[in-house]
Structure 1
Amino acid sequence: MGEFRHSIDQKGRLIVPAKFRGDLGHKFVVTRGMDGCLFGYPQSEWQALEKKLRQLPLTKRDARAFVRFFYSAATECTLDKQGRINLPQPLIKHANLVKACVLIGVSSRIEIWDEKRWEASSAEIAENFDSIAENMLDFDL
């Protein structure tokens, strides 16, 4: 849980907040996320997700496309002594990470956002939160 702001440097290094490091572990997986952000998963969550993705039918075009896109940029990130990860260029480009970033905790993963993109998305969600909450009834929440 939580929202933290850090800057990515020119070498693609980004500080992972101390609050997230314990749950993520020393090594974790980062890949393309939805809505223009990156998803970061602890190894155990990544393995559980892989198990589900392996069950997708190869005969479905959307399933093949999703799995290709999701896996092709996935990378194992290792925290350095300063608590930073080094993100590869395809992931930086996907999330349009230039300088200011926002890292948020979302259940069992983290999301890494460009600050401006996060603020726009967050503002849109806040504006529509009541109707979004109503739709959660469909998911038995």
Structure 2
Amino acid sequence: MLNLLGEYQCKLDAKGRLGLPSGLRKQLGEAEKMGFVLNRDIFEACLVLYPSEEWKKISKQVAGLNRFVKKNAMFIRRFNNGATPVELDASARINMPPRLMEYAGLEKEVIVIGNGERIEIWDKAKYESFMDEDVDFASLSEEVMGGLDQDVDA
């Protein structure tokens, strides 16, 4: 199971390619060779890069939804819309599809974040604005994590 960590400042080149940070590449290990799926995030205006094995897990969950339920069909269509298989080139770069770049507002400076089993790609200014939002993180932490069993070694 992947647990990708780290925040990296990167730049897109003139052709819209993103060099995957070496810190993330080391954490990916063999998963790097299996390719990725790049997609829109569900909640924020950023992109998500899923290692292929992680995308397969999510796709299996999505495939389990009944397409004859309108909300499910709408979710499946929207979730899969834009999902694009990508691979690293010989220089460890990802060719970013223009429509996805437009969705996330990616131009030159980006922030690449290891976030568990996925990698988020943000426009630098949008990410900084998101992180500067006034959120009571202590209360949020208590609400989200406060009721969990603290025995993580079990």
Picking from 127, 138, 152, the partner of 1:130 is 138
Which range moved further: 54-63 or 75-84?
54-63
Compared CA separation, residues 53 and 139, structure 1 to 2 (3 A): farther
What secondary structure is seen at the aligned counterpart in 2 of 1:48? Answer: helix
Matched, 1:58 2:62: no
SS in 1 for 2:37: strand
2:141 & 2:108 partners in 1: Cα distance? 32
Report whether the alignment pairs 1:28 with 2:32. no
Deviations 1:39-69 (A, max 9, x none): 1111111101100011123244333222212
Q: What residue in structure 1 maps to residue 14 of structure 2?
A: 10
SS in 2 for 1:25: helix
- The DSSP-based 3-state class of the residue aligned with 2:80 is helix
Which structure has the larger Rg over C-alpha atoms? 2
Q: Which sits farther off after the overlay, 45-54 or 4-13?
A: 4-13
Q: Deviation at 1:9?
A: 2.2
- The separation in 2 between residues aligned to 1:10 and 1:62, in whole angstroms, is 40
Matches within 5 A, 1:1-141: 1-22=5-26, 23=28, 24-26=31-33, 27-33=35-41, 34-124=43-133, 127-137=135-145, 140=148
Which letter does structure 2 place at the counterpart of 1:113?
W
Distance in 2 (alpha carbons) for counterparts of 1:87 and 1:13 = 6
Segments of 5+ residues of structure 2 without an aligned counterpart are: 150-154
Q: 1:110 to 1:139 in 2, by over 3 A?
A: farther
Using the aligned pairs only, state the percent identity.
Answer: 34
With structure 2 as the length reference, what TM-score do the two structures score?
A: 0.82
Distance 2:147 2:123 in 1: 29
Structure 1 residue 106, shift from structure 2 partner: 0.5
1:88-113 per-residue CA deviation (whole Å, 9 max, x = no partner) reads 11110111001110000110000000
For these two proteins, the number of residue pairs brought into alignment is: 140
The question of whether the paired residues in 1 share the 8 Å contact of 2:6 and 2:24 is answered with: no
- Equivalent residues of 2:46, 2:121 under 8 A apart: yes
- SS of equivalent to 1:94: helix
